[in-house]
Structure formats: structure tokens, C-alpha cells
Structure 1
Amino acid sequence: MNIEILGFLAGIMTTSSFFPQAYKIWKTKNADGISTTMYFVMLSVVCLWAIYGFLINSTSIILFNIFTLIIILMILYFKIQNKDSI
């Protein structure tokens, strides 16, 4: 079994775990219930994982952390945009 398959499975599961929150925020246009601090910490973690993926040349780590980074940035954008409108 190729170890990258395990990485792809973990990446799919990790990345997909952010979809429900992003979809709910997008649908309701309300991000009041989420922790900005938690998402900034996750943003840092995902960036570090992506850098690590580049350093070890792991396609699965690079791809899924970039996808997760995009989702987290969208969530933070909606959170900050919502806060400014109040």
C-alpha cells in the first residue's frame, strides 16, 4: 500500500470537516458563533503543514492543506466581514 493513499484519505477527511461550518456561514450569512482565535490558530497550523509538505515533497500534505487553507480563509473572511457590519 502506498503511504500517499493514507495521506489522501486523511486529507480528505480533515479538509471535509471544515465544509459544514463554511457552508452554514455562507448560507446564513452569520458567523457570530465561531471562534476567530481558533480559526487563526488553524490557519497557522495549516500553513505549517503545507510548508512541511513542500519540504518533504508530499503531494497529499501540500494539496489538502492548501484546500483547507482556502476554506479557513473564507470562514475568517465571513467572520471579519460580519463583525464590521455590526
Structure 2
Amino acid sequence: MEIEQILGYAAGTLTTLAVLPQIIKSWKTKKVMDVSPLMFSILILGVGLWTVYGFVKMDLPIIIFNGISFLLNGSMLILMLFYQADDK
């Protein structure tokens, strides 16, 4: 594996997993008041478009990392919608 591929996989892994601490914290505390649903909505749209771009370019790392990111960020948005009423 070349250095460019290693860098790409490392960057994809880190950026994809970056949302996990927020998801875990929100799940455990059931508190989402200080998390922006607009930011997550825009992020989901962005990674969704990156996933489509990956399919157009037939670039497996782009498809995999952005597809997983889409699911994780979508999960966070669902938690926010579910727990938002509890924060009031």
C-alpha cells in the first residue's frame, strides 16, 4: 500500500469516527440541547453527496467512509429528534 492510500484511509477513518463520542454521550445522557440539528443536517447532506460522488467515480474508499459517516451522522440526528423533547 502506498503512502497516499495510507493517508486516505487514515483520514477517512478519523473523520468518519469523529462523531462517535457525541453519539455515545447523547445516548448515555439523553441530552442533546447544545447540539445543532442544522449542522448535522448540512453534514448529512454533504456526506450523502460525497457518497454519490464516490459511486460516480467508482472510488471505494469515498463510498465506504462517506456512507458510514452518513449513517452515523443520521443516527445522531435521530437521537437529537428523539431526545429533544426531554431537554425542554
What is the aligned-residue identity percentage?
Answer: 31
CA RMSD of the aligned region, Å? 1.5
Alignment of 1:3-82 (within 5 A): 3-82=4-83
| Cα displacement (A) at 1:22 | 0.7
Counterpart of 2:34 in 1: which secondary structure?
coil
Q: Which amino acid aligns with 1:64?
A: F
Alignment coverage as a number of residue pairs: 86
| Structure 2 unaligned spans of 5+ | none
For the Cα contact (< 8 Å) 2:31–2:84, is it kept in 1?
no
Partners in 1 of 2:28 and 2:20 — Cα distance? 12
- 1:23-59: CA deviation from partner (whole Å, max 9, x where unpaired): 1111111111100100000011000110111111111
TM-score by length of 1: 0.89
Moved over 4 A (4+): none
